[in-house]
Structure 1
Amino acid sequence: VARTAGGRSARALKISSILAACRMWRVLMPRIARADIVHVHSNGLLAELAVLLARRHGKPVVLTLYGTEIWHYAPKKYGPDLFTRAYHAASYVTFYSDRLMVRAQELGLGRRRIKTIYPPVGPTFTWHDEEARDEARAALGIQNAHMLLNVKRLHPLAGQRFLIEAMNEVIRLHPDTRLVICGTGPMLDELKGVARSSGVERHVTFAGMIDNFAIGRYCAAADLFVLPSLLEALPTVAVEALASGTPVLSSDNPGGLELNDLFGTDVAIVPREQPLALAAAIGEFLRHKRRTHRPTRYAIDREFRPEAVAAQYRQIYTEVREQP
């Protein structure tokens, strides 16, 4: 059988992966040997090797999963299944959302010592009432009567296309509306083209990649944070908006639904990939604008502030040190 270019590429990729694994192994070994506890985040070759190497050295391991590794999980039929081995080898596994944890169990990844710990929201994101919102908006030089915000990487799964397509109807209902999209990614040019073809280019600002402090200012200034994503575990950016006093409109992705469970009417839900439903919900909110309710502020302080998250991890660290 003749060798193909695809076969040669696959072999080269396999050899490259083996060499990378060997380099990672050499770098990780002395660091893990000195550690009392190893806390590994997400998946990928580095994370999976770190878990397995730490357990080989008898070290307790906490593995935190964000979403991708579970949403797209499938056990490997051939070759080493490093993720599945690392998942079961870890002393404790934490998830970014309850729905992510439930999905892992549905996929056959049931195990002891698992828990949901939500991502932390830092002090940059503080509650703003209507007056403080207007001051924050003026400081950004935005003079529109209404401001919508989205903060996500510009990727098909983030669904910004549907939000931009909704803007034509939003502007018909509320002409003085600006949409600000913070982030960059492979869809930037395409999304700019959608804004032009939809006739809403003058109403959409692509702010690009900005730092966390600037995102905090935009969250404070917005009337509504819109999250049209197709898939989310727990969208930290939406919780940051809520912490700033800005309600959220989310598609019915798993993370959006979980935020609705946690924060009630401060997180409204619409169907995914439906620009008209999105536009109708935005239009209705802008007719009756408000800030988030007091229970949302309490829930964020209780579950999402760094001190609250750190306390939960400290409890886990104590447990795995006593019983690795």
Structure 2
Amino acid sequence: MHVLHTFANNDSVPYLSWFAERAKSEGGIQYSFLLLYPKPPAMMEEMQALGFDCTWIPYNDKHRKSGMLRALPLLWWHMRRIRPDIVHCNLFDDSLPGVIAAWLAGIKVRVTTKQDAGYHWMHAQKWVRMDRLISMLSTHVIAISGENRRFLIDKEGTPPDKITLVHNGIPPERFTAQDPATMEGLAQRFGTKARFPVIGTVARLIEWKGHRHLVDAARLIVRKHPKALFLFCGTGALEAPLKALVHDEGLEDHILFTGWVDRSEMASFYGILDIYMHAAILEPFGLVYAEAMMNRIPVVSTPTGAALDAIQDGYNGILVAERSGEALADGVHRLLQGDPGAMGKAGETTALEMFNFNVMWRGTVGLYQNALQQRS
């Protein structure tokens, strides 16, 4: 089985690396990669070292339309050269030219994972018809959460029989390796000692991640928990407005903007939290849910993405009824009135069952096998 992946706008993609490593160790799948990026991406050497063909196609997402038009014939040419059994596209910027090129090249199985479904619907309606074209030209579409699947059917008009649900997954051993020395360093760096509860969120500081609601929730939570500390991990366009809002609300002693924590320290970052809180309006998946839950950190979230699929409210996490500070604060209060430790443990069990990379691997390979059987 020869699978060609396209991917855009990323220097490295962890789950593609995990797929390549698994294919190398188990055999049975030959991978090729066409990578759209302004410069040769770092992952090229890694894939080539594993024995897989990896080709760079120059692409700059700041010039999206012209970049796609230039990439399209190159994608088509390489697909004709490689002649894979399956083309698998991943993000919008590679999926649109990629699935068109695969269709023109006569590739019979064209798979698209809808990693970024919903973004255009909320922020750039003119591109929604292109999302629909991608689904139309794909023979198989992977939804990464139940909400993602419903969105594809209801908003993009994707036929249900084209869609397979395969949750994103992570290797637990790589994301739960908490280091006591690193945790101590992070606790000192962020001043978490003698603070309770320590509530964290990991997300870009952009509108649809809902940080304004988190600030509003913090305002209510500190009334009952005056030593509460909120760690906003991430950067983004809303950093300055959010800092101004925190100042206006008098919450500067309670909300800390940490910037991005190094990926190697993330398990330890989760380890210094008492609660993970997330307020996104539409999360296609949200790997942060899987990461927090696998680290036994109880989650309070709006009902979206992986949280909506995994969390049974009050058992292995808290789902709030609406996207508001009041609802999130109430969720935190409900959590603390119960048994947060038991809820965190139950969340860990659920995440290990649902969001383990092994489950993602089996689901994806199973889709490939079924698709090829249908075409034979």
TM-score of the aligned structures, taking structure 2 as reference length: 0.71
Give the 5 Å matches for 1:53-72. Answer: 53-59=101-107, 60-69=109-118, 72=121
Q: C-alpha distance in 2, partners of 1:289/1:127?
A: 24
Give the 5 Å matches for 1:300-315. Answer: 300-315=351-366
In structure 2, which of residues 45, 59, 75 is the aligned counterpart of residue 28 of structure 1?
A: 75
Q: Deviations over 1:256-313 (max 9, x none)?
A: 433325x862221224342233223323433545234555434323321112211111
Q: Is 305-314 or 104-113 further displaced after alignment?
A: 104-113
Contact kept, 8 Å, 2:279 with 2:323, in 1: the verdict is yes
Per-residue deviation at 1:228?
Answer: 1.5
TM-score of the aligned structures, taking structure 1 as reference length: 0.81
Q: C-alpha distance in 2, partners of 1:238/1:295?
A: 13
Contact kept, 8 Å, 2:167 with 2:355, in 1: the verdict is yes
Q: C-alpha distance in 2, partners of 1:165/1:98?
A: 28
In structure 1, which of residues 259, 271, 283 is the aligned counterpart of residue 333 of structure 2?
A: 283
Give the 5 Å matches for 1:233-248. Answer: 233-248=284-299
Q: C-alpha distance in 2, partners of 1:255/1:308?
A: 14
2:281 equivalent in structure 1: 230
Per-residue deviation at 1:37?
Answer: 2.0
Q: Which runs of 5+ in 1 are unaligned?
A: 1-15
1:119 equivalent in structure 2: 168
Whether 1:92 aligns to 2:143 is no
Q: C-alpha distance in 2, partners of 1:208/1:293?
A: 25
Whether 1:214 aligns to 2:255 is no
SS in 2 for 1:307: helix
Quick one: which amino acid aligns to residue 320 of structure 2? V
Alpha-carbon distance change, 274 to 37 in structure 1, aligned in 2, over 3 angstroms: same
Q: Percent identity?
A: 20
- Higher relative contact order (Cα pairs below 8 Å, separated by 6+ residues): 1
Q: CA RMSD in A?
A: 3.0
Q: C-alpha distance in 1, partners of 2:204/2:331?
A: 23
Alpha-carbon distance change, 308 to 170 in structure 1, aligned in 2, over 3 angstroms: same
2:308 equivalent in structure 1: 257
Q: C-alpha distance in 2, partners of 1:71/1:258?
A: 23
In structure 1, which of residues 35, 48, 52 is the aligned counterpart of residue 96 of structure 2?
A: 48
SS in 2 for 1:38: strand
Contact kept, 8 Å, 2:294 with 2:349, in 1: the verdict is no
Q: Which runs of 5+ in 2 are unaligned?
A: 1-62
2:369 equivalent in structure 1: 318
Per-residue deviation at 1:50?
Answer: 0.5
Per-residue deviation at 1:96?
Answer: 1.1
Structure whose CA Rg is larger: 1
Quick one: which amino acid aligns to residue 146 of structure 1? P
Alpha-carbon distance change, 31 to 166 in structure 1, aligned in 2, over 3 angstroms: same
In structure 1, which of residues 171, 177, 184 is the aligned counterpart of residue 228 of structure 2?
A: 177
Q: C-alpha distance in 2, partners of 1:168/1:83?
A: 39
**How many residues get paired?**
301
